[in-house]
A and B are shown apart, each in its own frame.
Chain A
Amino acid sequence: MTNPAKITISKALESLKKKEFSAQELTKAVIENATKHRNLNAYITETFDKALELARNADQNYSQGKPRKLEGIPVAVKDLFCTRGVLTTSGSKMLSTFVPTYESTVSQNIANHGTIMLGKANMDEFAMGSSNLTSHFGPVLNPWKAKDNSADLVPGGSSGGSSAAVSAYLAMAALGSDTGGSVRQPAAFTGTVGMKPTYGRCSRYGMIAFASSLDQAGIFTRSVEDAALMQEAMMGFDEKDSTSLNIEVPELVSACQKSIKGMKVGIPVDLMNSPGLNSEILNMWQNSIVMLKSQGAEIIDVTLPHAKYALATYYIIAPAEASSNLARYDGVRYGHRTEKKDLNIEELYEYTRSEGFGTEVKRRIMIGTYVLSSAFMDAYYLKAQKMRRLISEDFKTAFSKTDLLLLPTAPSAAFAVNEKFNDPVQMYLNDLFTIPASLAGLPCISVPAALSSKGLPLGMQIIGPALDEYNVLRAAAALEKSVSDINFIPQGY
């Protein structure tokens, strides 16, 4: 029998229904992997005992003939989703003892459909990073290694624990969050599928805030169809989030079987000259165009003239919102509080925050405070909001002629854990291709589409107009089919 931990969710659900294996057997198999590969540091907190208890319930539901839609599927949950009674750290010392008294809507939604949480996935501190190197709980290792090189690689970030867990079979799916690319980029680095829906589709209630106008929950899976299944369960209106969209959740799974004949796929050709874009990524891009064309898609060249300003725009808006959101960590109501004695209130705040936050988080708070300070507010923050409109309008223009856009997810493959980035701007360039869709709030997905000459996975990104998750998945499934001969399983897993 194939190892139940190593099949897709859709296949596992079939097998569970046919009683080829039980939910308990499945959960045990995934826990066994997670235990064996603890060196990857994918989980901050493991909840295996609770998972086995839930698996027993799942088996009862199967035997009584009333399984829920995702009954018995073991998943990981990024550690910024508040989970009632389970430590939730957001990868930070600031929240290293925080046990929420309430559950995030998205984690509750999938649990209501029968998923089983195995634990809380490691992440960059407060989701700020593209490498998982900023976590207070240590870096996550990418299960992939380059050919002839034993150097440990990053799993991408900020949802690095989630991406590594799905890639290495330590979970069948993992919740992530995407503010500027934090689901798509790690998916590309680990050979997994990573999807972020339209802003407003998933409730942000109980998600620890980074940049509220950009934050959106996303999902990691090993197939496009699994992403569709999980998205259907995650999305939906929630009155507890003022930006939640009050519209019906679409059926998405059938998109994965639908032909892309006649679909108009736009290629933002002006991005082909982006700085730092390596030739292997360009080759993958061109091959993907050919593959979609051969399945009947119509290829149309478009431009996103303001996309080159997206990085600067993002690094004003996201830190501005972060510095405001993170003002709540004051050591008074919850979170870390300095142990220093005889402090006045200002000193209590300063010591608490300086001890509780890591360097990257402090850097972003500093940028945010700088761009929001009275002398620079108009020059930076207001200007960035205007740029955000221009970038958003670029997409609207492109979608007046096309159904979707196709571009790479990241400008390079996964880099080494010990690679030095003395200049933070170098690290920020990782987000070059993911940020534009985030600023416009659009649905997007990263699909593994090639291996680099060093044998590392590379991802292509598909972006759709607002609310059109269906066609995003449709094209993603077509691309996935075209590369089905490539093995996206890391060696030794």
Chain B
Amino acid sequence: MITTTEVTRIAKLAKLNFTESEIKTFSEQLTNIANLLDELKAVDCSNVEPLTSVCDHTQRLREDKITISNITDELFANVPGTTADFAKEIKCFIVPKVVE
């Protein structure tokens, strides 16, 4: 059972907010989903190595060299909100004050 308190805790971690009725619905639905996921408890996997990638090869590395440059305008092309023009002008992303 995933309680409404648990749903509220997860929502905080996921940076989402919900109404009380949404939290109640999520509590029911996530409980059903968790029951589905709990089917895995029936299988003993103690001697199994986790599979993190289906690619057999090892991670490819590249030289630490600049390949793309001078794309500042592109990086700011989709900056959202009422402060967008200012962000583009000063080439900084704008967020609320985070330090006192």
Contact = CB atoms under 8 A, between A and B. Distances in A.
Contact of B50 (A353, A363, A389, A440): A389
A16 B98 CA distance: 61
A245 interface: yes
A337 interface: yes
A285 interface: no
Contacts, number: 159
Contacts of B89: none
B26 to A, nearest CB: 6
B37 A316 contact: yes
Contacts of B43: 306, 309, 387, 390
Interface in B44-91: 45, 48-55, 57, 59-60, 62, 71, 74-75, 77-82
Interface size class of B (residues with CB under 8 A): 35 or more
A439 B50 CA distance: 13
Of listed B43, B49, B75, B80, residue having the most chain A CB within 10 A: B80
Contacts of B1: none
A312 interface: yes
18 contacts: A101-B77, A101-B78, A199-B55, A243-B55, A245-B57, A315-B37, A339-B81, A353-B16, A362-B14, A363-B29, A366-B11, A373-B13, A388-B50, A388-B51, A392-B54, A423-B32, A439-B54, A441-B54
A242 B39 contact: no
Interface of B: 2, 7, 10-11, 13-18, 26, 29-30, 32-34, 36-41, 43, 45, 48-55, 57, 59-60, 62, 71, 74-75, 77-82, 93-98
A394 B87 CA distance: 53
Interface in A234-249: 239, 242-243, 245-246
Interface stretch (A162-170, A291-299, A377-385): A377-385
Contacts of B39: 309, 312
Contacts of A424: 29, 32-33
Given A97-B78, A334-B78, A385-B51, 18 more contacts: A246-B60, A309-B39, A332-B79, A332-B93, A335-B80, A336-B80, A362-B16, A363-B26, A365-B14, A367-B33, A373-B13, A383-B45, A385-B52, A386-B50, A387-B43, A389-B48, A390-B48, A423-B29
A309 B41 CA distance: 10
B98 A366 contact: no
Which 5 pairs from chain A and chain B are nearest by CB?
Answer: A441-B54, A385-B50, A334-B78, A389-B51, A386-B45
A169 to B, nearest CB: 34
B54 A425 contact: no
Contacts of A312: 36-40
Contact of A351 (B17, B51, B59): B17
Interface string A213-233: 100000000000000000000
Tell me what chain A mostly uses at the interface: helix, strand, loop, or mixed: helix
Given A315-B37, A384-B40, A390-B43, A333 B62 contact: no
Contacts of B37: 312, 315-316, 371, 380
Interface size class of A (residues with CB under 8 A): 35 or more
Interface of A: 97-99, 101-102, 199-200, 213, 239, 242-243, 245-246, 306, 309, 311-313, 315-316, 323, 327, 330-337, 339, 343-351, 353-354, 357, 362-363, 365-371, 373, 380, 382-390, 392, 423-425, 428, 439-441, 466
Tell me what chain B mostly uses at the interface: helix, strand, loop, or mixed: loop
Nearest to A371: B37
